Amino acid sequence: MLDLTTSSIILKYCQSKGYPITNFNIIYIEGCDINGRLNNDAPNQFNDVRAVFDKNKCLDCWQATCEPGAWYTHTPMNPDGAFRIAFGFHKEAWEIGIHGNSEPHEALIQVGEVRGFRDYNQDFIRPGDREVCGYYGINQHWGYDMPPGDIGQASAGYLVGRSRYGHQQFMQFCRNSRRRYFDTIVIPGNEVFKF
């Protein structure tokens, strides 16, 4: 769990970037574990954090990925490359719906434009990639309980909480917020903790 000191650092970073902080915030921290420690952000791992914050602190957090796994990086659904979400504030781009065909489940479904990059050269990083903005089905869903060290086919560039149970907890927070549309903030851990 992200403690009060770590929560404060994350919220101050978001405020320094001008991202609006409300009484309900979804924040993904890339390259960070659920205790607020930086990691090496290696490709194809659930080594990011999905967190829910109020105005003052983290309410809960879960292992996640903000990035496509190796499968979809090397076998992209789009010929321009796998999608990698841009860092920053994504306004009202999701609502509650159902994700998936083989295992349909409640998730946040993309309904607004989202910014990101196409990893055409399959190098697992954003620099040098073409920036895009649009509707790409970038849903916030569960990761099918895949092991932490292998995203497998659980992410083609979505925002994915690793476990089914953790995702259900996340969705309970979303339902309880009584919002129709959901903003999401995605931030780089290695910048946040220099702040």
**CB–CB of 90/66 below 8 Å?**
no
For residues 54-60, average pLDDT: 98
Question: What pLDDT sits at residue 36?
Answer: 95
Q: Cα angle at 49 between 143 and 61, to 5 degrees?
A: 90
How large is the average pLDDT for residues 51-57?
98
Q: How far is CA 90 from the centre of its chain?
A: 11
Q: What is the pLDDT of residue 195?
A: 62
Alpha carbon 113 to its chain centroid, in Å, reads 15
CA 48 – CA 68 distance, rounded (Å): 12
Q: What is the mean pLDDT of residues 188-193?
A: 97
Q: Do 10 and 2 touch, CB atoms closer than 8 A?
A: yes
Q: Please give the Cα distance from 20 to 76 (Å, whole number).
A: 33
Q: 111-163: per-residue pLDDT in tens?
A: 999 999 999 999 999 999 999 999 999 999 999 999 999 999 999 999 999 99
Number of Cβ within a 10 Å radius of residue 26: 22
| Domain chopping of the chain, boundaries | 4-192
The proportion of the chain whose per-residue pLDDT surpasses 70, expressed as a percent, equals: 99
Query: Which whole-number Å values give the CA distances from 65 to 15, 22, 82, 106, 125, in the listed order?
Result: 23, 23, 14, 18, 14
User: Residue 31 above 90 pLDDT?
Assistant: yes
State the pLDDT confidence band at 45, using cuts at 50, 70 and 90: very high
- Whole-angstrom Cα distance, residue 55 to residue 60? 13
- The one-letter amino acid at 157: G
Mean pLDDT of the chain: 97
Q: What is the pLDDT of residue 7?
A: 97
Q: What is the pLDDT of residue 187?
A: 98
Q: Is 149 helix (H, G, I), strand (E, B) or coil?
A: coil
The pLDDT of residue 194:
83
What mean pLDDT is predicted for residues 16-23?
Answer: 98
Give the residue with greater pLDDT, 166 vs 195.
166
Q: Give residue-wise pLDDT tens across range 82-111.
A: 999 999 999 999 999 999 999 999 999 999
Which tokens go with 98? 């159902």
Region 25-32: mean pLDDT is 98
Rounded to an integer, what is the distance from CA 28 to the centroid of its chain? 5
Q: Is the entire prediction scored with pTM above 0.95? A: yes
